[in-house]
Each structure stands twice: as C-alpha cells, then as structure tokens.
Chain A
Amino acid sequence: MNRFEYASPSTLTEALALLTDTWGQTEILAGGTDLITSLKQNLTTPRRVVSLKAVSDLKKIEVRGTEVRIGAMTSLAELSAHPAIRQHFPSLVEAVEGIASPQIIAMGTVGGDLCQRPRCWYYRQGFGLLAQQEGRSMVPEGDNRYHAIYGNKGPAYFVSPSSLAPGLIALGAALTLAAPPAPAQRVEPAAPAVEPAARAKRREVKCQAFFRVPQAPGERETDLRPNEILTEITIPLRGLRNSTYEVRHRKSLDWPLVTASVAFDYSADVIGIAKRPRRGFEPPAEPVQPAARAPVVVLGHVAPVPWVSERAAALLDGKSIDESVAAQCGEAAASGATPLSRNGYKVQLVKVAVKRALLAASGKKG
C-alpha cells in the first residue's frame, strides 16, 4: 500500500471534482471490502482515495410509484432488511444472504458490490485483469477451476464477482452514473479542494449494459469511467416472480461457484411473454397474455460479465413451471458453454442452479 491523500467530501459534486480522467490516479472508497485488499495487494496505487461515506444522499431506499431507487452507498445489510426489497425482490435478499459474512454484509455497499474488481487469482497476483504474461493468458494452462465457462474465448477469463448484478439484470434494473459537469472543474490530487458550482451530469445505463468483457490490456470490466460515480440503482416494480440460487462450496463465507437469477411474469401461473426476437424458436401454440416483461435468466460467476441466457429464457415463454420445464431450461442455459481444462463441473452447476431458481421463484420446491 502506498501513501495516498484521503478525501471525504460531503456532496456528490465535491466528490466528482476530486476524481480524475485516468484510471489509477484516484479510487472511490465505499464499504472498503474490496478496495482495502486491492490497496494492500498493490493492485492499485492511487494518489487519492475519495470516500463516499459522508455523501449522505447516496444512502437511501425509496419506493416511488412503479420503481424502487436504491442509493449506491446503501449497505447490503440495509438492502436485505428493507421491507420493500424483501417483499418484491427476494432474489436480491437471497443474493445478499449468500455472501454469508456478517462483516461484509454490514460493511459492503450495493454500489461497491457492482463495482468491485474480479477475484481471479492471477489478477490478484499482479498478472493484470487479463492474467497475461508476455502477452499470453495464464488461465487456459493454469489452474482455472474458478474461471469462466462462457464468454471465455479470450482475452478475458475471469468471472464477474458481483452478487447482486445477476438479480438486478433479471429484474430490469438501471444504474445512474454521475460525472462532473464539463468542462471539469477538477481538483488535482494534493491540491486544496475548491467548491464546484455546476451540478453533476448524469447518465443512465441498463444494468446489463454496465458490464462488458475487456478486449485489451487496460480495458475495464464495466462501463464506469474514471471520473464517474455510480449513484443509484433503479428497479422497476413489475410484480415479477424472482429468485437467486447459489451453489457454494462452503456454507460460511465463500464465493459462489455458480449462481442463477431469474425473474418472470407469472400472473396466471404461466410465464408471460413479451415481444422479443424469436431466434429460431417456435412461438407457443396457445397465445398468452402479453406480459410486462419477458422472462430473464442470468448466470453469475460463469463469465467475465453476468451472463444472460437468451436460450434458457426463450424456452420459458408461456410455460407453466414444473420440474421438467425447469430442468429443460437448465439444460438450455448450460448448452453452449465452453469450459476450460478444470471447470467443466460448472456446466452441471448451471443446470441445477437455473432449475432450482425457477422452481423457487414459481413457488415450487426443487
């Protein structure tokens, strides 16, 4: 860990003014459960750390009409204890409970969960996000038991570590990212802070679009820019059934091996469909009531991004869920996986996780 300047602004505009345009110069501190270890491992050596603890309007959960807005600094404990979240989004509660560490649940934040860096052990040992040595990835011939089985044609092999992202994507959540007003009135590290006048610029991205697979050294795994702060997560209230199923090795604190999050309209005990490209799948014989949203199946810890399985979702349209439909959907989700030398078992885990998440969401026991 290098010496750095510590800033604790009390407003978002102040916080944004303390960030810079290039990665590595500044880091944002939320709960610290990832950043502190990254600092200790010298994975990042920022000149300034900007804490968001004192930015009070980032800590909130608001139910407004047809949506729920969650401030990025809301702790995972606050999220999973909130009555509206418990009522509408069991998928997120299950994802938080899956973390299994009271300390991380208490300290970790919703924004931090989405922005944390991957746990790939080659990355954590200093081989870079793409785990490369002399331009070649260490993963295919290395120990890749916890690496990706989708989206792993290179150069990225790590898995997205976020606990909440698969559930949020399934629920159709959007993220609000704030940037300083242009032209930036920025404070260079080690210079005294000045009061910025203009208001922050905001943009909204779908949670799914926030994550991306880096294609070259230096690229990141999210759409977040170095001078932006994730401020808010908005989840539409659509009355979707939803659930997250995690396969974990240990019951106590452990990263999941595979997770599956599902969300679907089940108003008539049949999965509702919405318009979507059919991609060669036959439409159901019986027309069903158009739904608020098509079913979504998202896998966690299997790819460099939360992995949306179109094949699995398409199979659900208009179906009533039972063990057989859920199992077929799991098979569909698992098809097309490209496991590495040591992680073929994850393909089996995908089948089970999807099946069990579907059964749980539909109120049937697996």
Chain B
Amino acid sequence: MAKVAWPVEEKRSLMGRRISRLDGPLKSSGRAKYTYDVNLPNMLYAKILSSPHAAAVVESVDTKAAEKMAGVEAVMVLRKPGERVDWAGQEIAAVAAVTEELATEAVGKIKVSYKVERPRMDDRDSSKGEGRVRSKSSGDATQALQDAAVVAEGRYGCTAITHCCLEPHGQVAEFRDGELRLWASTQNVSGYAGQLTGAAELPANKIHVNGRFMGGGFGSKFGPDRWGIVGVELAKKTGRPVKLMLEREQELPIAGQRPSAYAEVEIGATEDGTITAWKSKAWGSGGMGRAGAPPLPYIFRDIPNLETASQGIPINRGPARAWRAPNHPQGCLITMSAMEDLAAKLEMDALEFFIKNLHYTRMPEVYREELQIAADMIGYGKKAHHRGDPTPGPIKRGLGMSLHTWGGAGHDSTCDLTIHSDGSVIANIGSQDLGTGTLTVITIVVAETLGLPLEAVQVNIGRNAYPPDGASGGSTTVGGVSSSSRRAATAALNELLEKVAPELGVSPDRLEAAAGKIQEIDNPQRSMTWQQACALLGQASITRQGRHSRSGAGELTSSGVGGAQMADVSVDIETGVITLNELVAVQDCGLIIDLKTAESQVLGGVIMGITYALYEEAIYDPQTGRMLNADMEFYKLAGLADIGDLKVHMMTGKGYDDRGVIGLGEPPVISPGAAISNAVANAIGVRVGTLPLTPDKVISALVEGGLLS
C-alpha cells in the first residue's frame, strides 16, 4: 500500500523541482478572468459615495436627484442622518446604474450635509495612547541596563501603509432561479457565502462563490465587507446582476491598513557583546480598529531582563487589517534596528554580534546556518565595515541584516479526488490561488502521489461547491492543501492498487505508482501502465476524500520557519536617495513542493518589503483626515528599476525536508525593512529611525548627526 508520508528525496519525480506555475500562460496572455473582468448580460454597475470627512455626523442625505436620473436603477443610503463617520472614505450611499459612468455621475448628485468635527490624526505622540497597556517583564531590566557595559537607546518605527491590491476589492452578484451566484475577489472562497446569508436572505447552500483568479489580497480580503453586502443588496433590489468594485481612491483609505508602530528602546550588553537587557515602550495606531502589538523583542525573545509595554492610539483613519505577517515587520524593524545600533556602539561587527546572541532565539542553528549562507552570497567578508562608510565622496555603501520567523501551519482542508477508468484524475478543493502557486502545488502533489505527469491531473479550486478549505491567510494554505490532496490521492491510489494486485500477482503493499505505471517495488518489470490499471475499474471510478485538520496535523506538515536577509545599499548623502544594490534572502519553509514558485514567493515578499522600506506610506491630511495619496502616483510602490539585484536561497535537505510542508507567504516580507534600515545606518553612520526611508528623513538624520549642514 502507498503510504501517506512524503516520498524520500530519491523517490520524488516532481516535488522539489523548479516547475513554472500552471496558470502562468493564462495570466500573462490575459485569458485568466479576474472578478474585474466578469461582465454579465443585463448587468448593473454600482458605485459608492464616500465621506470626504474623517470625523462627522451625517445630518441629511438627499438622493432625489440621483434617483430621477434615467438609467439609475437603485439608490441606497448606507449612513442615515444621526449616524457617525469615523474615517474619511466611509460609505454613505450606493447607486446601481446601467453604466459605470452613469453610476459615478449619480453618486455625485447625492447631497449630504455633515456636522464636521476636527479629526484626531496624530499617531506619533506616545502620550495619546488609550486603552489597555500590554506589558510583560522578566528579570530586572532597569537594574540590568544600569549594570550593562554599553546601552543603546533609539526610537524606531514605521508609518501606516495599505495593502494596495492591484485588483481592488469587489464582486459581481447575480440572483438567478432563487440562488445567488457571486464572483468575488477573495482570499476566502469557502467561507465567503456564510458571511452573506443575511444580506442575500438565502441559506449558504444556495450561494455559489467563484474566485478562481484574484489580484492580490495580502490579508485584506477575508470577507465580503460592507461593500460586498451592498452589492448583494443592490442585486436583490434590482433583480439584475450587479458589479461593485472599489475605485482606487476609495480602496486605499478604507480597505485595509497596516498599523503604524513606534517604539522607544533601550538595549544593553556586556563588553563582549552579550545582550543583557531590553526595555521598550511601543505605541501605534490601527486607525479606528485595533492597533497592532509588535512582538518585542523579536526573535531574540529569551533576552534575560525584559520590560515591554505597548498601547494603541485610536485615530480617525480606516481600520487596520491583517497585512502580510501581521505585526512581525514592525517588531522586526524595531528589534533589528536596536540590535544593530548596539553593535555599532560596541564597535563590533554586526554579523558577529547577531551570531553571538543567537542563543536567545528559538532556532539558533537554523539562523546561524542561514546567516552564514547570506553572508557568503552577499560577499560580507569583503564588503563589511563598521558603521559609517569611510569612502570619500557623496555615495556611501553599507550592509545590513535581519532575522525573522513565522508559524505557517496548514489550515483545515478537504480534497475530493477521483480516478476515472480512462486514467484521468480530478481533484477538487474549495481553496483559492492568491497568485502564489496554490493550484500548481496541488497538481504537483497529486501527480507525484500517483506517479503521473502534471498534464494527467486536473485540479479545480476557486469555488465553494468544492470541499471546504480555509481562508488563505497567515501562510496556512500550502500546509492544508498539500496534506489534504496527498491524503486523498494516496487513499484513491490504494483502492486502485487493491484492484491491480491480483492481476499482477503481487500483494497491494508491494505495489507503487511511478512513471505512469503501477509496478512492484524494486521490481519494475512486473507492472502495468496507469491506463491499463484504471481500465480495471470498468464502468466505475474511485473517489476518495483527504482531510487535513489543524489540530491533528500529522506527519505531512509542521510549522515554524526561520529566515535571514542581508541588504547592500548605496546612499547619496547629498540627496538622501537610497539605491538598493542587492538583497539576499535565505529562507527555510520545510519541505518544498515547487522550488520555482517558492522562490517566486520569496521574491514577491522581498519586493513588497523593499517597497515599504523605501517608498510606501499612507499620507493623511492632518486637518481633514483625508488620505492625500490614495492613488498610484504618490502612494509609491517600487518599480523594477528600484529593486536591485535579488537573490533567493531556499534551505533544503536534511533537517529541513523532514519537517514537512510549511507555509511561506508571510516570512520573506518581514525582514527587508529592518535589513535595509540597518544597511543605511551602516552606510551613512547614523540611524534613520522610521520607515519609509525617504530622502527628507535621510537628510534630517544626517543633519542631526552633524554629517550635513
């Protein structure tokens, strides 16, 4: 009988190879249809009227002029007189009309009067914290700091940023024959319908969700949201399909923010560079939502004398949402910056200092190995210097490093797999592919398990008609789907082996599937082709279900990864402009199913990290509370010319493969901010405390450091 456990390296024909994503040609040719591309006959377009005020009470809403317009089919008031507005962009009313232009025009004709208040927008003043202070302590940090040979003090942090998904939030909704069909840009295909039963007035089993392709979520697309519910209500009201996609200028302020985070840190060490104490006070804002609580100290959790406190500052900004590796990038930036500042103060090589303190981490051996590989890749030995590049001229070069971790355990997942008598195979999972390669890795697992080429396997995801799968968040997808599909395929194969065994005169537990055949283990001459084997099913087929549950994960998956990154930057100290020369990412994620999509996943995370390190910031007007850069012009994302040379090294082999499959979505995005900030400090000799590292901040830091007049 075939075993559920992953095949050993010599027995793998597909897993661990570099395989191009299967939907790549569809996406690059434009044949992949995203929610934005779905247009149904007789469809209406819906637009939302957003509040221009960040703090206000609605006094009146007059929709008459909009309602009178020819082609306007429905108008809904979403915030009634007397109701509050707590952030700019909050939804006031919605219109469905026969064209997008008409809907936009009609929205403009809705008259709303507000009692406007001055919004609270300042999240940088730690004295404005409210609510519970989260704190922890161990040992005596105050005493240990007094006793420390060297103490570094610093203030670090990062501004709020948004998810800025290329495809904005939205869906197409159509009621037909008493059922609701939805095309949704979502990270949660299986869980979407359950959140709409109220609005649709239908049970979840009459709500059909399609989400085969989606243009980015990053933690902001787990539910239908207020606008998704409105879209369904408008479709219900008009009896026509309704498409509602947010505009870019609406999307950025309301559809997800990563909380800002700032901290004052004191960190102390003995003369030889052993850290002895950490004290931090952190604050930040999740807008009107919950603020984040960055884990501090990050990675180096077992520093003996600790004292930390963090508190949120509620301000009139759209609520925070999970943003790829929630809280980790902030905690990482604050910790790794303080570490590097302390190394500089000790006049110690940063790499030596990091390695010296790895015993405070939970995976010292993994980090040690990864740091050494990263150092070799970037040429650390040749390039490294103490803080402040002594090279004359305005261009200063520096190196910086950072470590990160993530869980990445698989979520609950179910896979139905059928082997047909003609040899074709189909697997269905109610999962989704966020652009990461989920479809590709499921196909690889099934093909590997059945000894078939990729083309022989059809995998379907992206519909809630398929067996339920968890939401794709927190790097949980690959653990779930690889386990459920492996289990389903193994169970189906074993049933087939039972049929084949008497024909070959071998007991089923002596049979295996490999290279398109069913053969005797260690005696491949005794075999029949996959087609011959399946033909034995006659008019029947085999269907088996595989389930992965988070609680009883079993031997296929685990959690807990480590990564190390190093950045090489050049800084023009006359202009404050930073150039990223190179960034190397060394990452562990257990057993790798597809090396190519794994590397791509790391590259994507690193690019996103470079973006928030150097460019990205949600900028709000302190007077009106409006987001000033809710566009792709001043909401700056890194372009190809900005990302430098990126190198990825995936940890594989003994000690890594045997841990099973672990998620990879979050980890690579955590370290770039810290690694780049450290590289900049190493280059110019002073710390630029907050991200993004914009020219104005670099110039200020240089002036404060007395390096520029």
Contact = CB atoms under 8 A, between A and B. Distances in A.
B395 to A, nearest CB: 11
B352 interface: no
A1 B101 contact: yes
B167 interface: no
B576 interface: yes
B699 A348 contact: yes
Contacts of A349: 575-576, 695, 699
Contacts, number: 84
B694 interface: yes
B636 A249 contact: yes
B638 A247 contact: no
B629 A121 contact: yes
Contact of A119 (B394, B579, B619, B633): B633
Interface string A336-353: 000000111100110110
A341 B640 CA distance: 32
Interface stretch (A107-115, A140-148, A228-236, A291-299): A140-148
B614 to A, nearest CB: 8
A251 B572 CA distance: 13
A250 B622 contact: no
Contacts of B620: 143
Contacts of B694: 249
Contacts of B634: 119, 121, 146
Contacts of B104: 1
B577 A248 contact: yes
A78 B639 CA distance: 24
B638 A252 contact: yes
A110 B700 CA distance: 36
A347 B493 CA distance: 72
A12 to B, nearest CB: 31
A2 B106 CA distance: 11
B698 to A, nearest CB: 9
B628 interface: yes
A342 B621 CA distance: 13
A252 to B, nearest CB: 2
Q: Is the interface of A mostly helix, strand, loop or mixed?
A: loop
Report the interface size class on chain A: 35 or more
A87 to B, nearest CB: 27
Interface in B631-684: 633-634, 636, 638-642
A249 B695 contact: yes
B622 A141 contact: yes
B643 to A, nearest CB: 9
B619 A143 contact: yes
B622 A143 contact: yes
Contacts of B101: 1, 3
B695 A125 contact: no
A250 B695 contact: no
Contacts of A106: none
Contacts of A342: 696
Given A121-B634, A138-B623, A141-B622, A348 B629 contact: no
A345 B697 CA distance: 8
A337 to B, nearest CB: 14
Contact of B574 (A143, A252, A344, A352): A352
B69 interface: no
Nearest to A41: B249
A257 interface: yes
Interface in A233-262: 247-255, 257
A100 interface: yes
Contacts of A143: 619-622, 628
B642 A252 contact: yes
B239 interface: no
Interface in B552-589: 574-577, 579
B498 interface: no
B194 interface: no
A10 interface: no
B636 A345 contact: no
A242 to B, nearest CB: 21
B708 interface: yes
Interface in B74-102: 101
Interface string B496-522: 000000000000000000000000000
Contacts of A2: 105
B25 to A, nearest CB: 24
Interface in A330-366: 342-345, 348-349, 351-352, 366
A300 B636 CA distance: 21
Q: Is the interface of B mostly helix, strand, loop or mixed?
A: loop
A141 B639 contact: no
Interface string B686-709: 000000001110011000000010
A249 B615 contact: yes
A323 to B, nearest CB: 11
Contact of A247 (B575, B623, B626): B575
A11 interface: no
A326 B708 CA distance: 17
A343 B696 CA distance: 8
A306 B72 CA distance: 46
Contact of B641 (A141, A247, A251, A255): A251
B576 A250 contact: no
Interface in B587-641: 615, 619-624, 626, 628-629, 633-634, 636, 638-641
A253 B633 CA distance: 8
A42 interface: yes
Nearest to A366: B394
B576 A345 contact: yes
Nearest to A355: B574
A2 B696 CA distance: 39
Nearest to B698: A345
A249 B708 contact: no
Contacts of B628: 121-122, 125, 142-143
Given A121-B628, A250-B642, A352 B575 contact: yes
B7 interface: no
Contacts of A42: 108
A143 B621 CA distance: 6
A3 B576 CA distance: 45
Contacts of B626: 125
A146 B394 CA distance: 24
A142 B108 contact: no
B619 A250 contact: no
Contacts of B638: 250, 252
A330 to B, nearest CB: 10
Contact of B708 (A247, A250, A253, A348): A348
Nearest to B101: A1
Interface string A12-30: 0000000000000000000
B621 A345 contact: no
Contacts of A146: 634
A3 B639 CA distance: 34
Contacts of B579: 251
B621 A138 contact: yes
A250 B621 contact: no
Contacts of A252: 638-642
Contacts of B633: 119, 255
Contact of B696 (A121, A125, A145, A253): A145
B622 A253 contact: no
Contacts of B623: 133, 138, 141-142
A247 to B, nearest CB: 5
11 contacts: A3-B101, A100-B639, A119-B633, A138-B621, A142-B628, A143-B619, A249-B694, A250-B636, A251-B641, A252-B639, A343-B696
Interface of B: 101, 104-105, 108, 394, 574-577, 579, 615, 619-624, 626, 628-629, 633-634, 636, 638-642, 694-696, 699-700, 708
Given A251-B641, A345-B696, 15 more contacts: A125-B626, A138-B623, A141-B622, A142-B622, A142-B623, A143-B620, A249-B694, A252-B642, A344-B696, A345-B576, A348-B575, A348-B576, A349-B576, A351-B574, A352-B574
The 7 residue pairs across chains A and B that have the minimum distance between CB atoms: A252-B639, A345-B696, A251-B641, A121-B628, A352-B574, A252-B641, A345-B699
